[in-house]
Chains A and B, each alone.
Chain A
Amino acid sequence: QKEVEQDPGPLSVPEGAIVSLNCTYSNSAFQYFMWYRQYSRKGPELLMYTYSSGNKEDGRFTAQVDKSSKYISLFIRDSQPSDSATYLCAMSDFSGNTGKLIFGQGTTLQVKP
Chain B
Amino acid sequence: GAGVSQSPRYKVAKRGQDVALRCDPISGHVSLFWYQQALGQGPEFLTYFQNEAQLDKSGLPSDRFFAERPEGSVSTLKIQRTQQEDSAVYLCASSYTEGRAEAFFGQGTRLTVV
Contact = CB atoms under 8 A, between A and B. Distances in A.
A and B assemble together: yes
B18 interface: no
Contacts of A43: 4, 6, 91, 105-108
Contact of B102 (A4, A49, A103): A49
Given A44-B105, A98-B55, A99-B103, A105 B40 contact: yes
Given A43-B107, A43-B108, A44-B91, A106 B98 contact: no
Given A44-B91, A44-B105, A97 B55 contact: yes
A98 B48 CA distance: 7
Contact of B50 (A6, A36, A97, A102): A97
Interface string A88-109: 1010101011111111111000
Interface string B1-44: 00010100000000000000000000000010101000011111
B34 to A, nearest CB: 10
Considering residues A97, A100, A105, which has the most beta carbons from chain B within 10 angstroms of its beta carbon? A100
**Pairs of residues from A and B, 5 with the lowest C-beta to C-beta distance, nearest first:** A103-B42, A99-B99, A43-B105, A98-B56, A100-B45
Interface in A21-50: 32, 34, 36, 41-46, 49
Interface band, chain A = 20 to 34
A16 interface: no
Interface of A: 4, 6, 8, 32, 34, 36, 41-46, 49, 88, 90, 92, 94, 96-106
B95 interface: yes
A56 to B, nearest CB: 13
Contact of B42 (A98, A99, A106): A106
A46 B103 contact: yes
B50 A103 contact: no
